[in-house]
Structure 1
Amino acid sequence: LEMALLYYGFYKGKKWVLILLPILIMFTRIDTVIFLGIVFLVDVFWNKKVRWNYILGGILGVLSTVAFNWFYFGELVNNTITAKKLLYNKNFTIPQEMSHFFKSFGNFWGMLKVPGDFNPMTIVILVFELACFIYLIRQKEKRNYFLWMIFIFGWVKQIVFISQKSLFDWYYWVPQLLLFVPVLIFVLEQKERRNLWLSLLMIFYIFPMLVFQTVHSIATGNGEWNYRRTIGTFLNHYEKDKNQWILLEPAGYVPYFSGLKTIDEVGLVDKQIQEEIKKDKANYWINTVKTRKPKYLLSYENLYEEKNPNAAYYKTHYKLLKEFRVKDHLKSDNKILEKIYNLKPSGTDYNLYIRVD
């Protein structure tokens, strides 16, 4: 949608596209307003005029998104945004800020997600992206108009999301791709030795990334479908009363396949927990357990550990029903898949507790 807007709206000059596509783009994710805003500013600066059709499209996009939230969710701002801001809002010290930055370093600038907090290859790719961008914009070409839009957007979105402590790697996929555009253009526009450049790009970047992403996707699929889903199917067969509640995180495969009513600890699907977070953020989990008494608890932690200040309560009111471990779901009849599962185990160990009183 975003590239169609640039091509048909700003390159081909179709006015109806400038009205319709901002609506569709903003409807996909509210943070796409960053893209639409950068495109608007670059266009005004470049052409020294305002496209009023585009402004109308932006206004309609905001109105349609807010209207959908109101009529479907009963709120102006999507609860996902509200819940995550409430729980994840933290005041970091400078050392913590630096630690967070390096922990997320692999998400920025280079589509690299290899293990480790700091990967020097990301710096190499970043420098190469910048060098290609500077080389291209020094040439007086019409394509620079779109190159500025894409490159500035990529940088702005990355900076906005890292400043908001966004750890989820999928938030960075779009800017990662767009920041690589100057490299692709640079290689494709080489009149001499273009085949050599393409070969180097394939050998040192595209093929390794394809292999890594394939392994990553298969391993993640195993972690979700063959592991996390089985927790839900176990509960589905074990608990026949689908009016019972389970407190857990995340709200995804497990509650869906269990069929149980769900309290997720972030508050994405259960707003009551947000009130507990507002009242006592440090103890909202145990307070929710005590007040709402869910029949099941699915926890990353061993709730019986002595270091847990509420261990006595859990031992009195809940018993450990079953342990779920990632290592138990790494086997496959297909030896290649099994090697991939073991190479990159995906998932989290869980303990499932059931209320005894």
Structure 2
Amino acid sequence: MMSRFLLKIFSSSFLLILVTLIIKIPVFLSKHLQEDSFITWRVARNLLQYGVIGFNGDERISASTTHLYMGISAIFQMIFGGNFIYPVLVFSSILFAIGSIWIGKILFSHDVLKRGFFVILFNMTPPALTASCLGMEYGILFFLDAGLIYYGLFKDRRWAFVLFPILLVWTRIDAVIFLGVIFLADLVIRRKINFIFMLGGILGLVSVLAFNFFYFGEFVNHTITAKKLAYKNLTPNHEPRYFFYQWAYYGGLIKKHAWWTLAIFLAFLGFLAYAFSRILSGNAKISFRIKVILVAVVVFALLKMAIFSVMKAYFDWYYWLPRLFLFIPVLYYFLNIFRWRKRLWIPSVFLAFFGLYIFQLWQSFTIGYMEEKQRVQIAKDLKAENSGMNRSIILEPAGIIPFYTGLYTYDEVGLVNKRINDEMVKDEKFWWMNSVRDFKPDYILTISKKPGGLYYHMKPEDLKYFDANYRLVKTYPISEVHRNAPEILSWIYKIRPIGKDYFLYKKL
């Protein structure tokens, strides 16, 4: 009876997608949205309002990491206006679900039940929830990744080797890592070079670089240049041990920079190696093509984690899809290789993945509450007083607050305003204070510390200038947010004290 009911749901892609959306409703309700998604959404709004891809009116700048998702966000804002956020999140989640169904069809071509279990469990994993629900471009990126694997590697459709590489590079330029690994996988399967695939990759890369050069005057997105300049001295520790800690911190699910985080991640990789030994053994009746695909997704995941850790890319969202791809062989092992009584096996697997789901949901509500009580509140306070392009602010980060206030923005990394980067080049130590003197922003929002000291460097005369021209209007202490949080969230804050203090200044 239960099997017939599940077969009815799992055999319908529409119903399966609906189930995945129901799973993700609590994440939507948590109000957990990645800060950088607001940068992309403001660029999209800027395009609609000014006809320019930029952040501050008619100033051209590739402040968003993704051209394709920025364009899609502009379409959603054009249709839904200010209420576009939930529709675009649902759209991203639908595309993610379709991508997971494609992967399920590769791994379980003739077993509808296992395919359905795979799709549901896969969509419950923490990286699946973050990739599809937090507003970034990764739901679309996974859809395109899965499309290339399904229609390209698995079904060998020639059009897929042209269309998907172009769309992938227009979504994120670092998708070239994924394309390189899949090209090698295709070479192993075909045993000859796929020139159509090469054409697709070249067209995608050349078209994006040409667009960036002719429109923005630079080959790569400005975000890459800005981060490279702003974060070059972020971490003075260059020991190999530190790299491995970073690798485990971003590669795993536990956000603690410690030896035991590395130990747990290495234990997981050990289990993954064991699972692969079973998958690749001659006893397992698995097609050569599926084995190559499973190896390829893991190679991509580990390669991207290693490259970005070496490059000191300290942003969690870069690692969402690599983490996600590591779950594919794990689920395949449990659903297709592992032998146990169904009576024990099905509840055990669901219980384990439900635990992961609750783990991410708890984190999302914790972060969402913090954002709502702090950065969203700062935006409300500023908007109530004055907002719009005729007023300016220096702050970090450049997501939520500029999006809701519409203020002309200088951010401390220079992601959305090149003039900050120019100041960094001219004076590596006193660039922030020089920016305040030169740009005379109406508002200044500092993070963690007040001006002066180790980060917001000032000379004695700078401090006099600052005190004469700016006054502190409000402090937003993170301890107050933690203290007033519901008990269930407060407990998490004690384990992982996320968030920092903010200090809002106004020009006299």
Q: Which residue of 1 aligns with 2:476?
A: 324
Say if 1:103 and 1:117, in contact at 8 Å, map to a contact too.
no
Deviation at residue 330 of structure 1 after TM alignment: 5.2
SS for the counterpart of 1:15 is coil
Q: Which residue of 2 aligns with 1:149?
A: 296
Say if 1:129 and 1:183, in contact at 8 Å, map to a contact too.
yes
Q: Distance in 2 between matches of 1:180 and 1:241?
A: 45
Matches within 5 A, 1:226-305: 226-239=373-386, 242-303=389-450
* Partner AA of 1:343 in structure 2: I
SS for the counterpart of 1:189 is helix
Q: Which residue of 2 aligns with 1:117?
A: 258
Q: 1:239 to 1:144 in 2, by over 3 A?
A: same
Matches within 5 A, 1:85-234: 85-90=228-233, 96=239, 98-99=241-242, 101-103=244-246, 105-108=248-251, 110=252, 112-118=253-259, 119=261, 120-139=263-282, 141-142=287-288, 143-190=290-337, 192-193=339-340, 195=342, 196-203=344-351, 205-234=352-381
Q: 1:71 to 1:136 in 2, by over 3 A?
A: same
* Partner AA of 1:349 in structure 2: D
Deviation at residue 279 of structure 1 after TM alignment: 1.5
Counterpart among 501, 505, 508 of residue 349 in structure 1: 501
Q: 1:288 to 1:104 in 2, by over 3 A?
A: farther
Q: 1:92 to 1:298 in 2, by over 3 A?
A: closer
* Partner AA of 2:266 in structure 1: I
Q: Which residue of 2 aligns with 1:3?
A: 146
Deviation at residue 257 of structure 1 after TM alignment: 1.8
The gaps in structure 1 that reach 5 residues or longer are none
SS for the counterpart of 1:75 is coil
Say if 1:187 and 1:194, in contact at 8 Å, map to a contact too.
no
Q: 1:71 to 1:238 in 2, by over 3 A?
A: same
SS for the counterpart of 1:246 is strand
SS for the counterpart of 1:353 is strand
User: After alignment, is 96-105 or 22-31 more displaced?
Assistant: 96-105
SS for the counterpart of 1:320 is strand
Q: Distance in 2 between matches of 1:259 and 1:323?
A: 21
User: After alignment, is 140-149 or 50-59 more displaced?
Assistant: 140-149
Q: 1:251 to 1:92 in 2, by over 3 A?
A: closer
Deviation at residue 281 of structure 1 after TM alignment: 1.5
SS for the counterpart of 2:450 is coil
Q: 1:164 to 1:7 in 2, by over 3 A?
A: same
Deviation at residue 144 of structure 1 after TM alignment: 1.0
Q: Distance in 2 between matches of 1:57 and 1:135?
A: 35
User: After alignment, is 42-51 or 339-348 more displaced?
Assistant: 339-348
Q: Distance in 1 between matches of 2:278 and 2:506?
A: 63
User: After alignment, is 299-308 or 240-249 more displaced?
Assistant: 299-308
Deviation at residue 96 of structure 1 after TM alignment: 4.9
Q: Over aligned residues, Cα RMSD in angstroms? A: 2.6
Query: Identity of aligned pairs, percent?
Result: 36
Say if 1:248 and 1:265, in contact at 8 Å, map to a contact too.
yes
SS for the counterpart of 2:272 is helix
Q: Distance in 2 between matches of 1:326 and 1:7?
A: 46
Q: 1:135 to 1:286 in 2, by over 3 A?
A: same
* Partner AA of 1:141 in structure 2: S
SS for the counterpart of 1:281 is coil
User: After alignment, is 346-355 or 236-245 more displaced?
Assistant: 236-245
* Partner AA of 1:248 in structure 2: L
Deviation at residue 283 of structure 1 after TM alignment: 1.7
SS for the counterpart of 2:429 is helix
Counterpart among 182, 188, 197 of residue 39 in structure 1: 182
1:234-254 CA-to-partner distances (Å, cap 9, x unmatched) read: 111223674122111000111
Say if 2:387 and 2:407, in contact at 8 Å, map to a contact too.
no
Q: Distance in 2 between matches of 1:44 and 1:299?
A: 52
Given the alignment of the two structures, is residue 78 of structure 1 paired with residue 227 of structure 2, yes or no? no
* Partner AA of 2:381 in structure 1: F
1:316-344 CA-to-partner distances (Å, cap 9, x unmatched) read: 33211110123444588xx9x65225533
Say if 2:247 and 2:305, in contact at 8 Å, map to a contact too.
no
* Partner AA of 2:471 in structure 1: K
Given the alignment of the two structures, is residue 48 of structure 1 paired with residue 191 of structure 2, yes or no? yes
Q: Distance in 2 between matches of 1:189 and 1:72?
A: 50
Say if 2:388 and 2:408, in contact at 8 Å, map to a contact too.
no
Say if 2:379 and 2:405, in contact at 8 Å, map to a contact too.
yes
* Partner AA of 1:237 in structure 2: A
Q: Which residue of 1 aligns with 2:32?
A: none
Q: 1:179 to 1:231 in 2, by over 3 A?
A: same
Aligned length: 350
SS for the counterpart of 2:177 is helix
Deviation at residue 347 of structure 1 after TM alignment: 3.1
The gaps in structure 2 that reach 5 residues or longer are 1-143
Q: Distance in 1 between matches of 2:246 and 2:296?
A: 28
User: After alignment, is 183-192 or 57-66 more displaced?
Assistant: 183-192
User: After alignment, is 340-349 or 320-329 more displaced?
Assistant: 340-349
Q: 1:284 to 1:97 in 2, by over 3 A?
A: farther
Q: 1:136 to 1:305 in 2, by over 3 A?
A: same
